[in-house]
Structure 1
Amino acid sequence: MANNPAARIDPLDPAGLADLFTDDERAVAAAVRQLCADRIDPYVADWFERGEIDDVRGLAKELGSLGLLGMHLEGYGCAGMSATDYGLACLELEASDSGIRSLVSVQGSLAMFAIWKWGSEEQKQQWLPRMASGDAIGCFGLTEPDAGSDPGSMRTRARKDGDDWVLTGRKMWITNGSIADVAVVWAQTDEAENGRGIRGFVVPTTTPGFSAPAIKHKGSLRASVTAELVLDEVRLPADAVLPDVRGLKGPLSCLNEARYGITWGAMGAARSALQAAQAYATERTQFGKPIGAYQLTQAKLADMHLEYAKGVLLATHLGRRKDAHRLLPEQVSLGKLNNVREALEICRTARTILGANGISYEFPVIRHMNNLESVLTYEGTVEMHTLVVGQAVTGLSAFR
């Protein structure tokens, strides 16, 4: 029996997940939720439908003013908050839209983290304070038209010409690309013969030869800026290279940061769809009573709450491990694989509860469902994360 006979379950949080977090952590989540309620939620369905965010730079500055850009990094104007705080922020942002969480994630966990972790002191001083405030926007150029899950096969090349570097190639599906002030670009170098391989470069987007045409006609992540990066003999000074990393270790370390945020963010999309379905089930009447009074609908809601609770528990556990400096890349794969997959299933089930209304932008469900189709495969496909986990538990590689 319950210790408190008067206690009642919270229908929006039947597992009592709020108890997992400290007062300070709940305050972080509440602050982000309020920003989203004021600045994003009233407009995001329209942004998604039009495929365009109004005043994206202004939004970036508001996100920066709350300390959300690079919030888990130390120094250089960054908030220096915990991994769990960052995770909760990602959850709240993606409860509004995956595209908004992507803006923050690419800025902080990819572009800023690359410079913060692997850059020179001059690069950090030049870019990180402005990126933390939202006055400068960054993007991360790794994926190419013919190199996604196998980044080692990238064709973008950087060759030495005197003291300069000259970059040539193309990057694809680059979030923030067409609005970025700086791009972190990864390229093959002639050092590959010496085992030094891939290098990262800090590329101001005003550099001659650099262009970033926007990618249109998307059916997913429409409230997100996506571009192709074209590098046509882009000449950079010697100090444009990230000095402290060589090989795939550099970009993969950044992807690990972003995947951690996705593990939390996907649960935000799931929560939004679940709450929409739960509210609809109590309001929609068929055959003389609310559809939530029927067993099949209750079974759907119970299963959705169960998978959501498990996903948040897993994300929280990984967050605590990250804060204790004990989080392994394979564990991030476990979180990303489970939570995105289950969030997508929650959204699909929510759509069935809403029926035809489930495809209307008057409700968030189809928008989240479409977004998660992209989240499912970016930052590592289901297949790749499955094999990472498989290798971790068997000791045998099945990648090739």
Structure 2
Amino acid sequence: VSSKDDGCDDADPKCPQWAAEGECTSNAVWMMANCRKSCHSCQGGDKAWKLRTHIQANYHNISDGVTRIVRVESVRINNVEIDERKQNVKVFGRFVFSWNDTSISWDKNQWGLSWLNFYWIQIWTPQIVQLNGASTSNPGQVTSKVLAANYTGQVYLWADFSFTTPFRFQYENYPNDMQNVCFKFDDKRLLAVHFTVSDAVKSKEREATTEPFVSGWKVVDVEVKESPLSLEALSDPRRNSFDVQSDNCELCISLQRNAVYFTTEMLLPALVTSLFTLTSVFFQLSKTQPLLLSFSMVSQILSLIILSQRLPSFTAHTPTILKFAGFNLVMTATLFVVSLVLERLAGYSVEIPPPHSIDRFALIVDRFLPLPKDYIYMSLDDPRTGTEDAEGNVLVPVDENGAILPGQEKRFLKSPIIMVYVGISVFW
């Protein structure tokens, strides 16, 4: 509507100055009515202002003790701020609420208007507050932006909100973790409003989460949950009849960490070092094995340093990737020490044979995991026992049970020790 239309003029020459000073917001009712051109309140022309005056003269904003039903028609998420150090989440967005108020209905044929915008202090509106805020001094804010109604008395409210709440992050699946944060809200007048959710919001038709700004995270899902209790009782009398239901309605957001560095900085170092540790099993009693194990331990320590820089400063649960890295480092160090001990034992000059049980276990391991042998077990009656064949293999005499005979040469002790070590490695 242009300024030439009826009812779209400023009643005072100082209106442009007052509008520039922000009076259209701080003193909305008087400014919108008397400085229509400067405050851009010419929608509907003079008919709209006459209808507002008529409704205001006959409207009584007095609570009659009846619980009003307010429906969530739409929700939009604009921004999410996450502070893991303080364990705090803040969300910004916009709600669209609707409710029916027959006191403001009018005849559209008589007035020539189907829709009319209001100012929030003229008619009843829900006074929304957050219930699970981070502090009582800053419980979250809901600001009414647009308030409009059609001729049937159906009122629509567009409200911008900013909710903040403390949240205990779950780090078991870090860095591929998903967090579900819920913000509870209600009317400031308890038991005065019961919130419901429209089918379009439940079916995700009126949810806008396509391009919200979330640093390091991505919004996976947004859900608005209404209270399962009835209008007459917003508390559960089976638990506590004096405990008012604290989740009349809540906004829940599912967030997933955008861990693009997970594969290169966490997963690959863990898998490569594990491969080095497992490969060292095939280099028993050689200089290659301790070198592989020592290199694996150094690499794991370096990867743990990178991992510690990525992990949060504190957490109530140990991430799985950290459990795997710790287990891998402990087992690699244990295997490194065992390899040194067994290599040292294999070089001792002793004439005491190993126990028969260890010998049998070594033979079982040798059956499933054969290795290049320096010894060939021969029968005691074979005249070649105790000598070497053409390929340099020592022919070891054993009894009918497969055990090395007592009192044999000290070199016969080396093969069972190798087999025992292989058995420990395979078991790990």
TM-score, reference length from structure 2: 0.20
Structure with the larger RCO, 1 or 2 (CA within 8 Å, 6+ apart) = 1
TM-score, reference length from structure 1: 0.21
Larger radius of gyration: 2
Higher helix share: 1
